[in-house]
Chain A
Amino acid sequence: MKFFKLPQQLVSLFILFFIIIVVFIIARRIFVPATFGVYGHYRASAIDTVKEQKINYAGAKACYECHDDIFETKSKSYHKDVSCEVCHGPSAKHVESGGDFAPEIPRQRDFCPVCHGYNPSRPTGFPQVIVAQHNPGKACISCHKPHDPTPPHTPESCSACHREIFSRKMVSHHYSLACTTCHTVPDEHLANPRLNQVGKPAAKEVCGQCHDKAAESDKEIPRVDIQTHGGRYLCWDCHYPHDPEVKT
């Protein structure tokens, strides 16, 4: 008895779709990992895979067990929330070996700008510098201590009146010098500045205190033979003392 005969096209299509569905089911069987969906929409055994990975970071606590002096300094500084390995790199090996495999110490100038280079999207107030302009060529750590990075303070007692000179000096190599290093300031100068003017250096030797070859000052300070350098000219005929990078 013949009830209803499906057209040949439909029979072929049904067979085709049946094959597609069977292939799909087999593919699911083969390719979907066994632990998929145990906890959520992911392969549960992925957690074990992750757990098996080698641990490279020791964590700041491990560092402080030996380096407690640095912990003391750092915990009071602006960098108190920056973990040691942010700068020194993964140090698990160093901890496990009990001190071997010294972690890296980034001394290069391009390291600190990773956080402190100017970037408009950083919050206002976060210390940022334009690397090309900020003491070019000098390593950051020559002025800033990474474990206590409070910026070097420029003495500012004269800045109330001499603001322009102060601002200029602040970003120069002479930032750390008090005005009185070079100038003699009579006590009355504050009350009556016009009548009691400050003393200015008169001889090359004032600069020579730091810049002469024989001077006992920091190694990084540029040296010259103060007697012969520049001939009969005084230092400030060529160098502007408040911003000595600039030639006058």
Chain B
Amino acid sequence: MFSGYIYPNEYELQWSLLIVLYPYLTGLVAGAFILASLERVFNVKALVVVYRLSLLTALAFLIVAPLPLLAHLGHPERALEMFLTPHLTSAMAMFGFVYAWYLLMVLLLEVWFDYRKDIVLWSRQKKGILRYIYLLMTLGVTDISEKAVRFDEKAGKFITIVGIPSAFLLHGYVGFIFGSVKANPWWSSVLMPIVFLFSAIVSGIAIVILIYIVTTLIRWKRPDMPCLNKLAEFLLYAMIIDFSLELLDFIHRLYESEESIHILSDLISNRLFISLIVTQIILGSLLPMAGIVLARFGRVHDEMRRILYFISAFLVQVGIFSIRWNVVIGGQLFSKSLRGLTVYKVELLGLEGLFMTFFLLMLPFVILYVLVKLLPPWTEPTHPA
């Protein structure tokens, strides 16, 4: 239960499990998009197999990303007011614009340019209602001459180049929201947006690995090993950077030893021991890093390698969710008097409960299923498997 001295308004946590979910989801979006851009901008050819899949993954998760906020605030009908009467000096109120920019100007445009030729072809081949859906999606542009397709290619590349800083902006922004709360020593850090960003890249790559392995299983196809290996490599590099940044943040706090250090060490050793030391660091970082190193560079059979990748990527998700938990919930568990700790009990039912969280966590996969049915992302590897 409570310990030490807590102000009355700190008993109950204001930001619940749904606010944990929000940075987790946006992280997946930014990560999956940055992964897609690796193929497009940096010409990592091995990743061409998952390029479209990661774009659709980013889109599916982006559609769900604002829903935890809407459910948490409890007045979804007021959501659009932040566009109508924008509050330019509030970082939180700017979410709508960051979100709209990313959805409209980056993801949807990129998906459209990338699929345009296929959409036109499908609108000619398909029958019934699907035909009309595809016709609508062409936006009246039916030109698939070589010149037009070349323009699509160029426009797509240009959008991706704009998209990378936008993806950085989206998740850096979420980190900024927390990092700029100067009254909270657990959050207030300039490193926060950067740490968020790299953890986003880690989670994005890991979710694409998971989705790719599962979808190939469902489709009875053999996963493209060069692609998986490349994904695992990038995941490992991103994890190393992410882990080093977190460590840097930790050492920096320890060395600065501000007045909050005692309550923060109490917080870590009491309230966050399981979620930080066990699930975030050991299960979510060290173990999957070891798993990937073993699978990628060890002498392991392909089948075993896939299993190791899968388990590691899954553990990474657990780890990243723990990071979000430790930031959002951890930052509210200690009193601003720096003398007491409170507790957080997760609701089961209700608008901010466990079921709602689970529902919102599953919803992107449903959306992804629809997207994949509508815009099949499967491209066969260009090299022999």
Q: Contact residues of A with B, CB < 8 Å?
A: 7-9, 11-13, 16, 20, 24, 27-28, 31-32, 36-37, 41, 119-122
Chain B residues contacting A41 (CB-CB under 8 Å) are: 85, 87
A120, B335: Cα distance in complex, Å: 12
Note all chain B residues with C-beta closer than 8 A to A11. 141
Across the two chains, which residue of chain B brings its CB closest to A123? B5
> Smallest CB–CB gap between B116 and chain A, Å?
7
Interface residues of chain B, those whose CB is within 8 Å of chain A, are 2, 4-8, 10-11, 80-81, 83-85, 87, 104, 109, 113, 116, 139-141, 143, 148, 151-152, 155, 340
Give bound CA distance, A81 to B10, whole Å. 25
Question: Which among B81, B84, B116, B148 has the greatest number of chain A C-beta atoms within 10 A?
Answer: B84
- The chain A residue with its CB closest to the CB of B81 is A31
Contacts of B151 in A (CB 8 A): 7, 9
Which B residue sits closest to A24, measured CB to CB?
A: B83
Residues of chain B within 8 A of A121, CB atoms compared: 5-8, 10-11, 340
Leading 6 A-B pairs by shortest Cβ distance: A12-B139, A8-B141, A121-B8, A12-B141, A7-B151, A8-B143
Check B139–A16 contact: CB distance below 8 A: yes
- A230 CA to B227 CA, complexed, in Å: 92
Q: Quick one: which of A8, A11, A12, A16 has the most chain B CB within 10 A?
A: A8
Dominant secondary structure of chain A at its interface with chain B: helix
New A-B pairs, 12, CB < 8 Å, besides A9-B155, A28-B84: A7-B148, A9-B116, A9-B143, A12-B139, A12-B140, A13-B109, A13-B139, A24-B83, A32-B85, A36-B85, A41-B87, A121-B11
CB contact between A31 and one of B84, B116, B141, B340 (< 8 Å): that residue: B84
Question: Which A residues lie within 8 Å of B2 (CB)?
Answer: 120
Residue contact B85 to A8, C-beta cutoff 8 Å: no
User: Contacts of B104 on A, CB cut-off 8 Å?
Assistant: 20
Using CB atoms, name the residue of chain B closest to A31: B84
Question: In the complex the two chains form, what is the Cα distance from A33 to B121 in whole Å?
Answer: 47
Q: How far is the CA of A36 from the CA of B104 in the complex (A)?
A: 28
Say how far B336's CB is from chain A's closest CB, in angstroms: 11
Given contacts A36-B85, A41-B85, A9 and B141 within 8 Å (CB-CB): yes
Between-chain CB contacts (< 8 Å), 11 pairs? A9-B116, A9-B141, A9-B152, A13-B139, A31-B80, A31-B81, A32-B85, A120-B4, A121-B5, A121-B8, A121-B10
Chain B hits for A36, CB < 8 A:
85
Q: Which B residues lie within 8 Å of A122 (CB)?
A: 8
In angstroms, how far is the closest chain A Cβ from the Cβ of B381? 29
Report chain A residues within 8 Å CB of B6.
Answer: 120-121
**Cβ of B5: which chain A residues have Cβ within 8 Å of it?**
120-121
The minimal Cβ–Cβ distance linking B266 to chain A, given in whole angstroms, is: 16
Q: Check A9 against B113 for contact (C-beta < 8 Å).
A: yes
Query: Which chain B residue shows the least CB distance to A119?
Result: B8
Name the residue in A9, A12, A20, A120 with the highest tally of chain B Cβ atoms < 10 Å from its Cβ: A9
